[in-house]
Amino acid sequence: AQKITQTQPGMFVQEKEAVTLDCTYDTSDPSYGLFWYKQPSSGEMIFLIYQGSYDQQNATEGRYSLNFQKARKSANLVISASQLGDSAMYFCAMREPLTGANNLFFGTGTRLTVIP
Amino acid sequence: SAVISQKPSRDICQRGTSLTIQCQVDSQVTMMFWYRQQPGQSLTLIATANQGSEATYESGFVIDKFPISRPNLTFSTLTVSNMSPEDSSIYLCSVDPPLLQGANRDYGYTFGSGTRLTVV
């Protein structure tokens, strides 16, 4: 089974509107961590936001917030007040520390296009 | 968080040759990760590099094709050997966040800026 699933290959949003990018995950590690990254056309990976499995509140970082629904195993990224510079690929990723491997597993990504 | 300098940023190479990619970190880190991102695809872990020991390779990746060095806690190289056009990808190194606590915790894994490799 896929560890991280992103079902939206592409999304469009009007400038200044909010958009939700979906992410579901599958793990048996109770101490998992969830991450969102932005990858512009330049190829760099920009860390946006983190949610720990034991965190009681949804993570927020500026215009980014994470809608964490633990029972549904979903961690959707919400971008408010979209800007043209938000156009990029967005990747959801997970870490499973109890496996002993500290790397990230990535989803297939969602390409977001912000329309002026 | 750590800052990573990755070189080269891009290269065009002839098939059958090898390319060595370098990542220099501005602080000491235990683990360094090497990922491959094929065109239009997600990131796939190639191997984890620990200082003083052999790298641990993921299924589908072998040391003869992707030899890795980790001579100290701030530096690592990945070599793509005997290249073919199928090796055309972005290669990225990454480090895990420092184990900080409380308000100073930083959970973001830092990535190098990537090496865009084209094999012709």
Give the tens place of pLDDT for each residue, B47-65.
999 888 889 999 999 999 9
B31–A35: do the CB atoms touch at under 8 Å? no
Q: In which band, very low, low, confident or very high, does the pLDDT at B104 lie, cut at 50, 70 and 90?
A: very low
User: Is pLDDT larger for residue A50 or for residue B96?
Assistant: A50
pLDDT band of B102, cuts 50, 70, 90: very low
pLDDT at B106 over 80: no
Report percent pLDDT > 70 for chain B.
Answer: 92
Cβ of A33 and B107 within 8 Å? yes
Q: How many residues does chain B have?
A: 120
**Quick check: A33 and B111 CB within 8 A?**
no
Chain A contact set for B47 (CB, 8 A):
none
CA of A33: which chain B residue's CA is closest? B107
User: B100 or B89, which is more confident?
Assistant: B89
pLDDT at B1: 72
Distance from A97 to chain B by nearest Cα, in Å? 11
The pair of structure tokens assigned to B63 is: 């040391």
Band (pLDDT 50/70/90 cuts) for residue B103 is very low
Measure CB to CB from residue A108 to each of B42, B109, B116 and give the nearest one. B42
- CA separation for the pair A36, B117 (Å, rounded): 25
Tens-digit pLDDT profile for residues A2-13: 799 999 999 999
CB contact under 8 A, A43 and B110: no
Q: Taking CB atoms and an 8 Å limit, are A101 and B48 in contact across chains?
A: yes
* Cβ-nearest to B114 among A44, A102, A106: A44
- Whole-angstrom Cα distance, residue A40 to residue A95? 22
Query: Which tokens in the block code for residue B23?
Result: 């990542």
B11 touches chain A (CB under 8 A): no
* CB-based contact B119:B88 (threshold 8 Å): yes
When CB atoms are compared, the residue of B42, B113, B114 closest to A91 is B42
If pLDDT is split at 50, 70 and 90, which confidence band does B105 have?
low
A 92-111 residues inside an 8 A Cβ radius of B: 101-109
For A36-94, the pLDDT digits (tens) are 999 999 999 999 999 999 998 999 999 999 999 999 999 999 999 999 999 999 999 99
pLDDT at position B98:
65
Which of B92, B1, B2 has its CA nearest to residue B46? B92
Residue B45 has pLDDT above 90, yes or no: yes
- What's the rounded Cα separation, in Å, for the pair A25 and A30? 12
Q: Which two tokens stand for residue B89?
A: 């990808």
